């Protein structure tokens, strides 16, 4: 784990951005019907999702996990009646009676971890025996990865964000396909934490690769491929064109009876 690269220069702005998507991160709550008792928020940050869900859905037990001690300390102060851990081995709930929520975390694992830790992450997700697995993250499709549309690149280079595209290309190389073009379009507004954001890989795996990772012990009970409406509006407002590619995925997986 590259902790230096993972540092956030403006934590308040980072957390505010996370809070804006709280409702969308609860997408799973009305789509699972077999009983379970606990919700484990993987990559819980300061616990805002748990704080929002607890009064609305008080019958669940809530647990947060994050590798950042700073975030866990903040979460414990933010939500005093939930459990928070930075050590996976100390989590003390029955996973077979739990839903693990993995929101905007897959891309961070791939951005900051080596292969060993990435494999460990997926082992924890799929081999721990969770009743449900909910995944929400940015993800691009191989089918939509066409050569970059030159008219879109021209619109960006003529805009006030041209310098940010130059900075992006210094890290990622010349934008030649739609995956990288959309990659830039998802992060060009995050200038306050730009050094961290520009190096973070929003699309480390294709959507098709994620689907291949799902083991036979789970079945898909919900799947949604979409683009955030606010992102589409923002791009249209700043550059005058429509983003037609899908940028996000939501999945709910249910463990099959053993």
- Look up residue 91 and give its two tokens: 């989590």
From 142, 143, 138, 146, select the one nearest 225 (Cα to Cα): 138
pLDDT of residue 17: 52
* Average pLDDT estimate for 115-127: 97
pLDDT of residue 188: 95
Helices 178-185 and 150-157 pack at an angle, to 10 degrees, of 30
* Average pLDDT estimate for 204-217: 97
pLDDT of residue 6: 46
Is 227 strand, coil or helix? coil
pLDDT of residue 5: 38
Backbone φ and ψ of 96, nearest 5°: -70, -5
Q: Contact, 247 vs 24, CB < 8 A?
A: no
Pairwise CA distance, residues 63 & 210, whole Å: 25
Beta-carbon contacts of 79 under 8 Å, excluding residues fewer than 6 positions away, are 47, 50, 51, 54, 62, 64
Domain boundaries, the chain: 3-142+199-255
From 44, 52, 92, select the one nearest 69 (Cα to Cα): 44
Q: What architecture is the 3-142+199-255 domain classified under in CATH?
A: 3-Layer(aba) Sandwich (3.40)
Q: In this structure, is the dihedral angle defined by the CA atoms of residues 228, 233, 234 and 235, taken in order, positive or negative?
A: positive
Q: What is the pLDDT of residues 47-100, one digit of tens each?
A: 999 999 999 999 999 999 999 999 999 999 999 999 999 999 999 999 999 999
pLDDT of residue 109: 96
- Decide if pLDDT at 11 tops 60: no
| Cβ neighbours, 10 Å, residue 58 | 8
- Decide if pLDDT at 153 tops 80: yes
pLDDT of residue 4: 40
């Amino acid at each position: 784990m590259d902790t230096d690269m993972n540092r956030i220069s403006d934590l308040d702005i980072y957390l505010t951005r996370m809070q804006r998507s709280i409702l969308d991160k609860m997408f799973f709550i009305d789509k699972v019907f077999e009983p379970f008792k606990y919700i484990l928020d993987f990559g819980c940050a300061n616990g805002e999702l748990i704080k929002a869900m607890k009064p609305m859905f008080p019958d669940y037990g809530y647990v947060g996990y994050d590798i950042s001690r700073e975030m866990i300390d903040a979460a414990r102060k933010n939500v005093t009646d939930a459990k928070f851990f930075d050590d996976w081995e100390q989590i003390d709930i029955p996973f077979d009676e739990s839903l693990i929520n993995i929101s905007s975390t897959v891309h961070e694992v791939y951005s900051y971890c080596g292969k060993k830790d990435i494999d460990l992450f997926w082992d924890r997700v799929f081999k721990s025996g969770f009743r449900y697995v909910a995944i929400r993250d940015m993800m691009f499709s191989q089918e939509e990865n066409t050569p970059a549309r030159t008219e879109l690149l021209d619109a960006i280079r003529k805009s006030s964000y041209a310098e940010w595209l130059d900075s992006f290309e210094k890290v990622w190389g010349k934008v030649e396909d739609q995956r990288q073009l959309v990659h830039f379009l998802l992060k060009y507004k995050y200038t306050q934490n730009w050094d961290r954001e520009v190096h973070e890989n929003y699309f480390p795996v294709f959507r098709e690769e994620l689907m291949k990772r799902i083991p036979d012990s789970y079945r898909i009970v919900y799947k949604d491929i979409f683009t955030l409406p606010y992102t589409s509006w923002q791009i249209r407002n700043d550059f005058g064109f429509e983003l037609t590619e899908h940028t996000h995925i939501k999945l709910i997986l249910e463990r099959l009876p053993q």
